[in-house]
Structure 1
Amino acid sequence: MNPRKLLVFLIICSLSCGPSLVSSNNVNLEFQFFNLRNLTLLGDSYLRNGVVGLTRDLEVPSSSSGSIIYNYPIAFFDPETNVTASFSTRFAFSIDNINPTSFGDGLTFFLSPNNQTLGSPGGFLGLVNSSQLTKNRFIAVEFDTKLDLDFNDPDGNHVGLDIDSLISVKTANPMLRAINLKSGNLITAWIDYSNERKKVEVFLSYSSFKPDEPLLTVDIDLSDYLKEFMFAGFSASTEGSTELHHIQNWSFQTTGFRPVRPRIHSHNVSDSSVPLRPPPIPVSDSGNRHHKRIGLALGIGCPAFFCAVLVVFGWVSVKKWRGIRTDKSLKAELVTGPREFNYKELKSATKGFHQSRILGHGAFGTVYKAFFVDLGTISAVKRSKHSHEGKSEFLSELSIIACLRHKNLVQLQGWCVEKGELLLVYEFMPNGSLDKVLYQDSESGKTLKWSYRYNIAVGLASALTYLHQECEQQVIHRDIKTSNIMLDGSYNARLGDFGLARLMDHDKSPVSTLTAGTMGYLAPEYLQYGKATEKTDVFSYGVVILELACGRRPIEREEESQKTVNLVDWVWKLYSEGKIVAAADERMTGEFDEAGMKKLLLVGLSCANPDSSERPSMRRVLQILNNEAEPVVVPKVKPSLTFSNSLPLSINEIFSDGEDCGSPKSQLDIRVD
């Protein structure tokens, strides 16, 4: 807003005010035929002459699964108005077969928070992964053509409502309407959900006319399952059959969102309220004095008010000018490469940085989930705190990570410097942070599998090998911890948060700096001298590896004795007693490779050795985990390390991120043996 417009705006605001609210919009999609412009094909699905095929078109029996998903997320819940949308969809499909005796398994229409939903062949209907039955989240209506007792199917020709499981909430047989799903005929399906009535209804017909009575009616409240944004699509599967699944057309609508309009303050006066004759106005000396007082008050008040408006105008203008100058100076410092986002675009994608979009908090600021509806993508937006430290960390992170390319690093997509805000845009990690998966998810009964844990250890070692030895300039991360390790859709490790990272020339001596990081992950020599080296990163990696293997935080307080336990000390004690495998996370109930577990624990101890000279390089660690090198010999007793002088820094100076200190189990432990 330019200064002239701003002045007019301030004067108007001083006279009147009207609120302006924004609400989610209803969606209306119509596909008479399909094209790849707005759709994503996954698995074995294909597009031919405007018709979607979901499984392989072969003359010989095969196992196949495929899905097709509308590219753009659809709003189903508005957190600002607390409204859940109703929806209705209509589509025409056919299920045919070259061999009439070879039917199976069927197709589904689904809604999912994931735009990569693809499941296994066979009875999993291309919707659920056979090795991770609870991984995919969905609301689906299945059109099942095979009896599968594992999923409590009533017969080989039924329609069912599925929620996060292929064991249907309720089913119905379409033969009640003289409809055979396997007839090869074109069938039109209507699926309606009314949020007001809390009811799902499914209609089927061989014609394009909607029947009066539904085939399947389910009384259910879907508001707990309809997230703020969902993706819509179809999936199908076969197993040892030649069944074909085609979708010919599709329409989809949501209803229930009512945009909130600005309230207009009007002053309507009816004819009857206006007197025909104005009452006589008495004239007297007292009246004249009264008018003079009013005139005097107005003569003083109006200029004073106008002066106040000018002062506000001047203050805002100066602040805006300084902000523009700061933004320009910041942009001049930024590297070229990542996209520069518009602030308005990021604000819209995060619903005005709404509380419901918060993914987490860190040293840099707050991270929000962002839906870019126009692009059909989801990202994570990191919004800085308003401080000088925030600016320096922002520039540090951007200048470092923009130049990095590795499969185990979180990819930077763009940045924004506007409105006094510092924002970074990253690719969205569906499974969140390792910290969340290891601890928060476990409280709800979900335990990270051993294969994922080992893969995370290898991926993180690969990323650090790249940062330490393969970049043009060595990168010291300085804040490696479980909350800074993100997990993609396949639980691969992605190291992020480079706000405290430092660039160094290879083979150059480190310079002492203010100690920064998180207690429990800091190497003893880093606490003592404030010198960050690749070996201090190796120490932090070792602590993370022990967390992965043991499922325990670096520093915990025992519930019974209230004694503080250091994870490294605890594992080393078990190792000295010859029972290191006993440190394995009990929640895995023994479902892990014992030799691999022992290797992982020993690698963790070797990296967390108090003597930095005895720690292996990250390249050596990666080789050990990939069985390309012999493990490092770990002493049975934890080595002692003595410093000649006391710690030079106070606890307040050591901390750059106190977010972990709020945990009831976390305690400060800066003792060095």
Structure 2
Amino acid sequence: MELKLSILLVLCLLAGSLATKYDEFTYNGFKRSDLCLDGVAEITPSGLLKLTNATRYQPGHAFHKMPLHLKNTSDGNVYSFSTCFVFAILPEHPDVSGPGLAFVLSPTRGLPGALPNQYLGLFNLTNNGDPSNHVLAVELDTVSNMEFGDIDSNHVGIDVNGLRSINAAPASYFIEKIGEFKNLSLISGEPMLVWIDYSNPEKTLNVTISPINVPKPSRPLLSSFINLSSIILDTMYIGFSSSGTNLGYHYVLGWSFKMNGQAATLNLSSLPSLPSKKHGGKLTSLIIWPALGVVVFIAITAFGIAYMIRRKARYAEVVEEWEIEHRTHRFSYKELFKATKGFREVNLLGVGGFGRVYKGKLPSSKTEIAVKRMSHDSKQGMREFVGEIVSNSQLRHRNLVQLLGYSRRKGELLLVYEFMPNGSLDNFLYDANRPTTLNWSQRLKIIRGVASGLLYLHEEWEQIVIHRDIKASNVLLDREMNGKLGDFGLSRLYDHGSNPQITHVVGTFGYIAPELTKTGRATTSTDVFAFGVFILEVVCGRRPIMLQESPDLHLVDWAWRSWRNGVILEVTDASLGGDYDPGEVELILNIGLLCSHPVPAARPTMRQVMQFLDGDLSLPDIPKDGRGITPQHAEELEGS
């Protein structure tokens, strides 16, 4: 009995020792550390944690190897915790940097599917903002991204499950003597200290930052009241994430962490040194005066030559033999650079998962254009992509955004579109700051226009085009508020009468047909499903995933439920104020339900949809058993 008690005591002491080891740690450099690295992250020989290197668009992750038990099992509350680390961002060029880095608490170490660039290696286009992520991050962001509502290009933010910060402030630290915050440049190349402290009793998360030679300021930069119990799981991994870019390098020099206490102070004198900055050579004061004139002449000549080379390189383009046949669709980079005034922020129209879009005006014709600026490293992928661009540039329809051409420069791909003055449809549906809302006649015209454009893609062009990403944000509005379908980055083409071999599931969550997730086979019918969701979106004024109602409520399910209960008109956007023909609205809603039917055979073709809209074909009863369009209506269609 005494032996059993002794063994139990030893096990308890060992467990306590292990808990202490993994609930508290200090790394003054990372030569000997329990870190798990992936992506481009590495530990340098000097002990620096290097999150990114010159590899473009690759994330870097570094997480503590062992997960932490962050919750009290008795009451479900998150324990208080404290962490401190020293970081530095070394830009390749002064005042220019790619995305920053983030301290992260995550259920997993790998963050599968996370994208680099603006997503900081944390999220992607479909899961950004999803409550099921259970991710808490503190971002040190050096890019202003309109997509996430960033306040500037030099800020600190608290992120919960997505990159739209719940609290953010320009990078700065509090100076007690003057009682004010002093600005800091995150890309100064100088090491800085960050403290992150969570108090469970107060449910407060504080973030403090300062230069490395300044003690912890008395006032935090950010202080947010937040109960982490619904965000943090019982066990979490902690670490760092960043986005690979050739514009800068992200380092962590030291790191300490403690649960239910204050993180240990780092020994700043023992931290590894950052790579030395490169300095150009200088002329010595021993140069004799007779030679000075020659040196000055050579310097001026060299400067002139270098200036011309840099100017030429500024507009340098990449042209390969296989592109010669497509040169009629190609703009010069110099022309687009001047059209957008050097891609200035003031000309930025928007930011998305595929790049940044700028407004421009062609110098020669004064035509207004929209230039989408993307990057692409794969030569073979670039060739295939340009081939599809050339095919799509041949599309001509009044309800398709016209692709005017493209340009290439090094790893960049630039697409040139006609400019749409009223922007994207989703701004009119969801932006509360819009001075006007869409009336019913405008919405109906937009629906008809997009339907006409899709009919052209599916049946009337020389090949079949499957768009694969139909949604309100990809519908743009011209000066007369005509809807035009754009963004063909995911589209695929195949010949009439052939069987499409498209087996890669892409699209936007909420618009993807149920069979697509099972078979991976995109067809015109999966486009019709997305169009049906789009119709409901326009009429209801609600996004496909209605998070404001319930995390799991889909717009299509809600509309079907209302239809079955005989109250389909109740889903109509309240902002319309009843100013519409109820019969007309009900017809459009029924077309939307028919298009978004879960059974593919029940959905109409786009030609049938246009005939429903034009009154040339009566709308069939909406099938509940998935048998689709009745033979009678099929015969009517053939005879029409």
What TM-score bracket applies, with the shorter chain setting the length? 0.3 to 0.5
Answer with 1 or 2: which has the greater Rg. 1
TM-score (norm 1): 0.45
TM-score by length of 2: 0.47
